[in-house]
Amino acid sequence: MKSTLLGFLAPARSENKLRRIYLNQYRGAWVRTLACVAMCVLAYGIFRFNIISLNNILGNIAVVILLCAVNPPFLWLLKISRSIAFTQAVSLLLTCMEIIGYTMVIYFLGGIHSLWLTIMYAVLINYIAFVGPWWRPLVAAPGGRCSVQHFPGCHGCP
């Protein structure tokens, strides 16, 4: 193996970085799953008080299932990846899908009429900034908001 400056071996450094990215996403998958369960429980409570309709809760449950279902394939891709660029691209795609999912949850629970969900959205975006690079929410959040606003099924969500 060829050593780089300061005697560090390049493959060992890249393996450590790949493993760190995978472990961050693995922990993130558990946080996403627990957050999704909490969102379902919250939506069910709101539904029981007749604040949202059956369509709203069914849309919320569908989005939550989607958010939980994307974790295993993406984690598998991250685990078998040997390229840092590919791993970072998959990680960014997962972050974008996560933000799109949370945005759709907000739309299904009332959209602009449910301003209290903005706090949840801000916490989730800040969590993404905390576990990943500082620039990731700046790239993913506006794209997530725009893509959901132009998604044909979400105009009548609230």
Q: What is the pLDDT of residue 4?
A: 44
Handedness of CA 132, 24, 63, 46 (dihedral sign): negative
Average pLDDT score over residue span 24-47? 86
**43-51, long-range: CB within 8 Å, 24+ apart, which pairs?**
43/109, 46/109
| pTM strictly above 0.75 | no
Residue 5 lies in a domain: no
Q: Could you tell me if residue 6 is inside a domain? A: no
Which amino acid is present at 127? Y
3 assigned to some structural domain: no
pLDDT band at 153 (very low <50, low <70, confident <90, very high): low
In a domain, 1, yes or no: no
CA distance 110 to 31: 24
On whether residue 7 sits in a domain, the answer given is no
131 domain-assigned: yes
- Strand blocks (E) in the chain: none
Extract the tokens encoding 139.
């790239």
On whether the CB atoms of residues 94 and 74 are closer than 8 A, the answer is yes
Q: Tell me, yes or no, whether 45 lies in a domain.
A: yes
Q: Is residue 4 part of a domain?
A: no
* Structural domain boundaries, residue 64: 15-154
Question: What pLDDT sits at residue 149?
Answer: 55
Tally the domains of the chain. Answer: 1
Which residue type is seen at 153? Answer: G
Q: Encode pLDDT of 107-127 as tens digits.
A: 887 776 777 777 777 777 777
Share of the chain above pLDDT 90, in %: 7
